Structure 1
């Protein structure tokens, strides 16, 4: 009895893949090695599948044609759904991937067997996908490449057919022009009073909308002149989700410029919800402020400042450039902005250098002379 169990156990073999899933393979009556048409969540599932194959062989119901057709029947749509459901992702990232799949990727690849996706098919899809939105296009290509890379690691396909150089990278389409101090002043004075401090903190403290919308009384220390950034609020699948910053660098204390402190104290008295957990910038009906509610009045304010190109998030860029102009080091900028890598902070230093050169040219212009070559 024990020998018969051992014999059954020796049919085929199972290995654990880097993804954590299990792959089953066996040598068929044709003397060739065959992989299962899919990978399995558990080793027990893989063993059960091998048992059914062995039973087919014993009943002489096995054929290499049936194995091939089953393997080819695994479509991209089926595999992509399983890939997405098996990933631990933040709600906002999952919603983004869901949107990319539904709108950009699945309309072309849903019913295509994985093994039939060729480099030519990928190039044809890329040539016509989201051509007017390069960032969205690069995200869609990156997701397709990632899913097919996993299929390659699972040995479901022989190689990843995504080989378009640079397709996963996008260049910034919106070139940010920082607001000048007079423009910022005009925007602030045009905004409703309850939102004026929000604009000022976005610029002078370089805060994101989600960080501002989740600020509470307990996060504001007017004696020390500090804002404690510990959380942010994001919207995903129609729900508002309060969560910690993506990295430890996002958890930070931001010093409030002294000229804003009287305005902060006044706002706490007039517009903030009561209690330690009261929101600093609540919606009129209470609860978190929706971006659309702010944008309706912000758009009018930026028009009054003759800056229709300025997005609310660009105020953070404005403040970062101003901080860089004061001589802030790269490390200081990273700390203030909550960046874990220096790449983004370097952008602000470069922008400040460009503006400093412009100031130097204007100073020279005052003398009525120019450099000669």
Structure 2
């Protein structure tokens, strides 16, 4: 039995004792769109709602899609809304790649897993991702946590929620607050090493690896870049040092150290070798093969691991009266010395192989009290009348005597070595 209406039809199926409502597919003439219902009233109500959608589509006020497509979309939305944050976040990190589509380095992936672990400790991690609120995040941010892990985990959370919003998993990201601030880096406040301190550290290092001190301080190399240098990387005729690798563990951040790509693309560089380092490098190279490591492990004859070199450096730094000194501080030493000897910001960025100015300025340039006093005196000397007071002259004499004493001490060291 067929019941026709002004739009669509409802057919009673005696065999199944049900009502089939149907109408013409507005996008595919000749095809029918239909649904089966248990009673006529529900079938007619469905037809009325479908007519509204079709009319809106014809008027350009909406887009009609087949009911089955709408059902699938509704089911997908329901499934997404039921997704737990911990599941979504874990999947995000496991598939996270660099902007160029390449996988992150193993050490970087390990860091990502560490940040994820901090997020998964949050109370909201077991909630449905669509039900997480700003209040949940504020509560997590207020919980006890070290500043750096808090910031890195927060940045990861922001990335996760941004993707969830862009892919329609959630309507709006609840991460609307600013990044947590970091206190000033303690390492960035460590005073740079002086020439005299570097000399003492050098003398207290084992002969086979002591050149690492000046490789770090003069070339602004990271410790894992120093360990990765091979004899072939030192071009003495052209006085060029090729930085091509770093050392790190294997897949899964496991296993022995091996040659790997540098930390960033900008870290790869050809650096000029200072004249004063040529003889030192020639002695270090000796007559070894080109593929030999410039600093060899005394046990294996291969790569000297960065933790092993760090331990030797720390011991020598303590002997020089600088137990606070890190090998990484040699990068600041190189850049700060370059700045104080007239290098421009762009030149120090090239030396440090930094891709942005902020890194070079905030992390590695130091403004010592002594240097600021010197600059202040120069500015005042250029702007104020030339007549100086007795105190100013006495102060300059005292500073000159200090400089003379340092030079005499340096000369005495050279005489002892001779």
TM-score (norm 2): 0.67
**In 2 relative to 1, CA 333–354 (structure 1 residues): closer, same or farther, beyond 3 Å?**
farther
Alignment pair present for 1:343 and 2:358 = yes
**In 2 relative to 1, CA 106–6 (structure 1 residues): closer, same or farther, beyond 3 Å?**
farther
Partner of 1:146: 159
Partner of 1:368: 394
What is the aligned counterpart of 1:197 among 207, 211, 222? Answer: 211
**In 2 relative to 1, CA 348–171 (structure 1 residues): closer, same or farther, beyond 3 Å?**
closer
- Greater radius of gyration (CA): 2
Shift of 1:242: 3.5
Residues 97-246 of structure 1: matches in 2 within 5 Å?
97-102=112-117, 104-108=118-122, 109-131=124-146, 134-167=147-180, 171-174=184-187, 175-235=189-249, 237-239=253-255, 240=257, 242-246=259-263
**In 2 relative to 1, CA 360–84 (structure 1 residues): closer, same or farther, beyond 3 Å?**
closer
| Structure 1 segments unaligned to the other structure (5+ residues) | 12-27, 33-49, 58-63
- Tell me how far apart the structure 2 counterparts of residues 321 and 105 of structure 1 sit (CA, whole Å): 37
| Structure 2 segments unaligned to the other structure (5+ residues) | 1-24, 34-45, 51-67, 98-102, 379-387, 397-418
- Tell me how far apart the structure 1 counterparts of residues 107 and 282 of structure 2 sit (CA, whole Å): 34
What is the aligned counterpart of 2:94 among 63, 85, 102? Answer: 85
What is the aligned counterpart of 1:283 among 292, 297, 302? Answer: 297
**In 2 relative to 1, CA 215–29 (structure 1 residues): closer, same or farther, beyond 3 Å?**
farther
The number of equivalent residue pairs is 319
- Tell me how far apart the structure 2 counterparts of residues 322 and 30 of structure 1 sit (CA, whole Å): 80
Aligned-residue Cα RMSD (Å) equals 3.6
What is the aligned counterpart of 1:75 among 66, 80, 84? Answer: 84
State the Cα deviation string for residues 64-118 of structure 1 (Å, max 9, x = none). 8x8776444200111112212332231222221112112x111224422101211
- Tell me how far apart the structure 2 counterparts of residues 334 and 29 of structure 1 sit (CA, whole Å): 69
TM-score (norm 1): 0.74
